[in-house]
Each structure stands twice: as C-alpha cells, then as structure tokens.
Amino acid sequence: MINEHDLAALNGTCPEHYEPFQDRAGAFYETFERKPENQEQTHYCPGCGHGITHKMVARAIDELGIQDRTILCTPVGCSVFGYYYFDVGNIQAAHGRASAVAVGAKRARPDSVVLCYQGDGDLAAIGTAEIVHAANRGEPITVFFLNNAIYGMTGGQMAPTTLIGMKSTTTPNGRDPWNEGYPLHICELFAQLDAPVYLERVALGNSKQLIGAARAIKKGIENQVKGLGFSLIEILSPCPTIWKMNPVDAQHWVRDELTKVFPPGVYRDRTKDAPVRPAPKPKPALADLPKMLVGKGGVAPVEPAGTAPAAVHDLSIRIAGFGGQGVLMLGQVLAEAGLSADMRVSWLPSYGPEMRSGTSNCHVRISHKEIASPVVTKPNVLLALNEPSLRKFLATVEPGGWVLYNGTSLPEGMERDDVHFVIKPFTELADQVGDARAGNIVMLGTLLEATGMLSGESIDAALKRLVKTERWLELDRKALAKGRETFHLEPVSA
C-alpha cells in the first residue's frame, strides 16, 4: 500500500513540487480516525468524566459566542484526542506541557481565547513546573484540570492525586505515604500564589455537582473573555474503567470519597476586583525597525574617523589584567577605533571561569586584510596590566613586538631582548589625572605614541561611542594625553 509519493521518499527522491502534509481539517466526530472497528462511538468509556466535561466546555463556548476565537490546547492522556470533539482551533501538546504551549499561543494571539485541558498526571506530576509558573505569572488562560486520582490512558498507574491506600498498578499494595507521599492539592497550593484570579474545585458526583461544575467552567472561560488573568477549575472526575466500577458506583465514589480528600469549593475569586490586563502596546512601523536596532547600550554605529597608518598592516593584540582594570574596555576601544579607520577588526574576550577569579584578558585583531583567526596566540602587542598577565603571555609575543607593562620595573625572569618593552606605572599615572581606573587609557595613550598604530581621531571617535558619561569622557581624554606625554618623558628600554 505504498503510494508513489512514499516510494519516492524511500528512494531518496521526491517530487519537484513539495506538497505540505495533508491538511487535517474537519477533525471532528464524523471523521474520527480511531481503530476502524470503533468508528461509531467516542473513545471515552461509559461514565467517563471527560465526556461530561467536554459537553460543559462546548456549551460554554457556544453560550459565550467564542467558537471562532477559541484555541484548545490538549494534553497527553485520555483527552489527547480532545480535538476530535471541539470544532475550534486545536493545538495538541507534549505530556505536561499544555500550559506552556497555551502561554505561547495566548501571547502570540492575545485576542484568542486559549483553553488548556489537562489531566492529573499531566498537570500535577510531569507538568507541575509549567502550570505553577503559568499561574504565578497570571497568564490569562483558562485551565481545566481533570482529577480522577489515577492514570487512565496508560492503564491505571498512580497519579499525584491518588488517595492514600488506593491501589494502582504501580502501588499494588495501596499508596503508602512513606514511599509515595500524599495526594497533591492543586487548588490549595495555588491559593498561595498572588496572581491567579479564579480557582475553584468542582465534582461530577451528582446532578447538583454537575450544575455547579458547568457554572464554574463557564465562569473560568468568561474571565478570559473579559480580559482577566489566570483561571483554573479542578474537576473531580470518575474513571469507572480503571477504578473497576460501574458508572453509577464511580459517580458515587467521586461524591463520597474523592471529595473528602479534595473538598470542592472556591479557593480564589477575584473576578470582581481583578485588574483588567493592559492592552499590548502598538507595534512600531516595520520601516522604523532597522534604526531602532542600533546600539543597545547607547553605542552608536561606527562612523569613519581618522585613517590607519599604512605601516600598520596586521595587529594581533593580547590585553590582560585584573577584573576592573578595564581590560575588555581597552580592547573594545582599539577595535572600534580600527573600525573607524576602515580596517578589519575582531574582539574576543576570555569569558571562562578565570573571569570569576578576578583576571581577564581579550584578543584584538586589527588588519588591512580579512581576518582569518580572531584567536591571538602569538601577539605582536601585549598589554599587561598586572604581573601575572606578563608572566602568562610574555613568552608568546612575536619577536619585534611591543610589550607594555603596568609597573616600575620588569619582574625577575621576564627579560627578553627581542621585543620592545615600555614599563610605566600606568595605574599611578591615572590616579594623577583623577581616577586610577583610567590606567587602561593611559596605557593606550602610551601605546599610540610609541607605535603610531591608530590616529587620534579614530581613538576619540571610539571613546565617544563607548564612554557613557561626560565626566568619564573628559577623564579618559586626560588619561590619553598623560599616556602620550609619559612615553616621551623617559626612553624606551629595548
């Protein structure tokens, strides 16, 4: 029974025109795709609470006139096929995730009415995190929580709501609180949260209870129609097949036993005084979006400023020091300045665990050519803001390269005669111009003066983009000048 399309797929070829999978429209009772022998009946067992609840939900949808607006999110469990019975938009979710799916759908389509239908295993076991947080955020969805104290579809395993002593296939001797803990009371638990608008537990134990259940279900949906927040209706529901009872006995058991452990009642009702959610802000015009995306941290796009000296063709810079010395910032100034001068640039921070222990370093490349690797393993410029950095990276510097060190003399064992050293107490010099934290920029001034690698205009343009306050911009300009003059005060040690 393999058709041509399937054969093509098996053989690794397929038709020229891709046809999306068959539309599964009209997935209602008449076209119910169950095992062929059972086409004439619903898939729910006689006496099951789902059928009753479905009818109540469907009637409320009709009465509120919201059929077109409704999106039903169905769970995994017996009600996985909820979409066969509701002629509304349907999204079927993974086990426990219906409330997360409902959140995604509701926020995508705020005008829709999103109903989330979940059983006790789905909502109160595997999906506990999703439903608690949806409730706690006050998501404006309506949740129907069917509690029948057992796993139905999978054949009678324990649910989080299984009663103490109740037998299931995974509690063959009855639920033992020492092993399985106690039945989980969702309404009582959620009543501790600030956000929910409406929490009520109802039962399907007799006619009077059914009337109450229908009222609560409609109210929960109506809340959403009115724009109010989270509503959850817990429905104590019979499962005659797994309970091994006839439908009448099962209904009585709901009324007489389940309600003892799970008392029906209103656990929260703020429908009268709950604030209506604010309407979403109007969307900006599409044409305005590109310019709104410029510069999150106030960093303006790069404008041309200054030129790159022809002599500088390929800079591989490693900058290292303690956290707080402005290591990453110094790298960014260099990269931004290089970009202003129309050169290729890259900036790569060390972001590993070493940052936490207080040291920091970054790789900067500035080049006239396309930059292959942004990883600088053999720098031709090393900016070492502390001694550990010098010890770590000095040996990696290319012969003929520049090493700027924040200190008064070279530490023992750090001598090299094939690189240019510039040793200055940059932090102290920065202190002299007003703030020791500008030591990185004093070092930058010295570097520029020593190598002529980038023009003053490019650097100033970069500082203007990156420095947030006027005070710091002034300070950095002073620090830069201090660095430049410092270089000329004393000879370079070679």
Asked if 62 interacts with other proteins (CB under 8 A), we say no
Q: What is the DSSP letter of 297?
A: T
Q: Taking the CA atoms of 451, 457, 462 and 468 in sequence, report the sign of the dihedral they define.
A: positive
Nearest by Cα to 115 from 147, 153, 83: 83
Q: What is the DSSP letter of 166?
A: -
Rounded to 10 degrees, the C-alpha dihedral 286/288/289/291 comes to 160
Q: With respect to other proteins, which residue has the nearer C-beta, 65 or 413? A: 65
Token pair of 40 as six digits: 């004439």
Q: Exactly one of 280, 400, 413, 491 binds other proteins (CB under 8 A); which one?
A: 280
Q: Exactly one of 42, 51, 64, 87 binds other proteins (CB under 8 A); which one?
A: 87
Minimum gap (Å) between residue 9 Cβ and other proteins: 4
Minimum gap (Å) between residue 84 Cβ and other proteins: 10
- Angle between helix 456-466 and 439-451 (nearest 10): 160
Burial of 14 (0-12, 13-18, 19+ CB in 10 A): middle
Asked if 105 interacts with other proteins (CB under 8 A), we say yes
Asked if 172 interacts with other proteins (CB under 8 A), we say no
Q: Exactly one of 42, 58, 67, 473 binds other proteins (CB under 8 A); which one?
A: 67
Q: With respect to other proteins, which residue has the nearer C-beta, 234 or 336? A: 336
Q: Exactly one of 260, 296, 408, 489 binds other proteins (CB under 8 A); which one?
A: 296
Minimum gap (Å) between residue 482 Cβ and other proteins: 26
Q: With respect to other proteins, which residue has the nearer C-beta, 34 or 391? A: 34
Residues 10-39 that bind other proteins (CB under 8 A): 10, 12-15, 18, 20-21, 23-27, 33-35
Long-range contacts of 124-128 (CB under 8 A, 24+ apart): 124/159, 124/160, 124/161, 124/184, 124/186, 125/96, 125/159, 125/160, 126/95, 126/96, 127/75, 127/95, 127/96, 127/97, 127/98, 127/99, 127/100, 128/96, 128/160
Question: Per CB under 8 A, which region of 45-53, 54-62, 150-158, 296-304 contacts other proteins?
Answer: 296-304
Burial of 135 (0-12, 13-18, 19+ CB in 10 A): buried
Whether the CB-CB separation of 97 and 119 falls below 8 Å is answered with no
Q: Exactly one of 279, 292, 395, 494 binds other proteins (CB under 8 A); which one?
A: 292
Asked if 193 interacts with other proteins (CB under 8 A), we say no
Residues 6+ positions from 17 with CB-CB distance below 8 Å? none
Q: Where are the alpha helices (DSSP H) in 344-452?
A: 387-393, 426-433, 439-451
In the chain, count H helices and then E strands: 18, 13
Minimum gap (Å) between residue 133 Cβ and other proteins: 4
Asked if 464 interacts with other proteins (CB under 8 A), we say no
Asked if 410 interacts with other proteins (CB under 8 A), we say no
Q: Exactly one of 38, 46, 59, 107 binds other proteins (CB under 8 A); which one?
A: 107
Asked if 103 interacts with other proteins (CB under 8 A), we say yes
Q: Exactly one of 42, 45, 64, 92 binds other proteins (CB under 8 A); which one?
A: 92
Q: Exactly one of 278, 353, 400, 413 binds other proteins (CB under 8 A); which one?
A: 353
Q: Exactly one of 48, 57, 61, 101 binds other proteins (CB under 8 A); which one?
A: 101
Q: Exactly one of 290, 400, 413, 491 binds other proteins (CB under 8 A); which one?
A: 290
Q: Exactly one of 53, 168, 346, 389 binds other proteins (CB under 8 A); which one?
A: 346
Minimum gap (Å) between residue 491 Cβ and other proteins: 34
**Which H helix or E strand runs over 338?**
helix 327-340
φ/ψ of 463, rounded to 5, equals -60, -40
Q: With respect to other proteins, which residue has the nearer C-beta, 318 or 484? A: 318
d(CA 130, CA 96): 8
Q: Exactly one of 6, 176, 474, 490 binds other proteins (CB under 8 A); which one?
A: 6
d(CA 135, CA 126): 16
Question: Per CB under 8 A, which region of 142-150, 268-276, 294-302, 429-437 contacts other proteins?
Answer: 294-302
Q: Exactly one of 63, 68, 314, 490 binds other proteins (CB under 8 A); which one?
A: 68
Q: What is the DSSP letter of 321?
A: E
Residues 6+ positions from 86 with CB-CB distance below 8 Å? 54, 57, 58, 61, 70, 72
Asked if 279 interacts with other proteins (CB under 8 A), we say no
Q: Per DSSP, what are the bridge partners of residue 269?
A: 198
Q: With respect to other proteins, which residue has the nearer C-beta, 108 or 248? A: 108
What number of chain residues touch other proteins (CB under 8 A)?
95
Residues 306-345 that bind other proteins (CB under 8 A): 332, 335-336, 339, 344-345
Minimum gap (Å) between residue 66 Cβ and other proteins: 9
Nearest by Cα to 232 from 195, 275, 279, 276: 195
Residues 357-396 that bind other proteins (CB under 8 A): 371-375, 377-378
Asked if 135 interacts with other proteins (CB under 8 A), we say no
Minimum gap (Å) between residue 376 Cβ and other proteins: 10
Asked if 64 interacts with other proteins (CB under 8 A), we say no
φ/ψ of 333, rounded to 5, equals -60, -45
C-beta atoms surrounding 338 within 10 Å: 29
